[in-house]
Amino acid sequence: MTKEDMINHMAETSGITKKQAAKALEAFMDEVTTQLKKDSKVSFTGFGTFTVSHRKARTGRNPQTGATINIPATKVPVFKAGKRLKEAIKK
């Protein structure tokens, strides 16, 4: 499903225009991004939780040359599915 598909689905199921659905989806994505930038978690009971994981700096190897490289520390977004979502997918 693409973003456009989601906008169309939201508009059809909620009885709003595509423009309103697009605005609502953008607002949702912007706020999740804002909260994750602040290292806050965003939780939807039964659906899942968005969090930020902190990866430590480490050393690795370039597979082509075998040279050792330094991989810097980074933050990555993580989504953990909730119980209701997991159960819905199993069916």
CATH code, domain carrying 60? 4.10.520.10
pLDDT digits (tens, 9 = 90+) for 12-71: 999 999 999 999 999 999 999 999 999 999 999 999 999 999 999 999 999 999 999 999
- The Cα 23–Cα 27 span in angstroms is 6
Q: How many domains does the chain have?
A: 1
* pTM score: 0.81
pLDDT digits (tens, 9 = 90+) for 74-84: 999 999 999 99
Q: Which domain holds residue 24?
A: 3-90
What strands lie across the sheet with 74-81, from one edge to the other?
42-44, 48-55, 74-81
Nearest 5 degrees, angle CA 51-CA 14-CA 5? 65
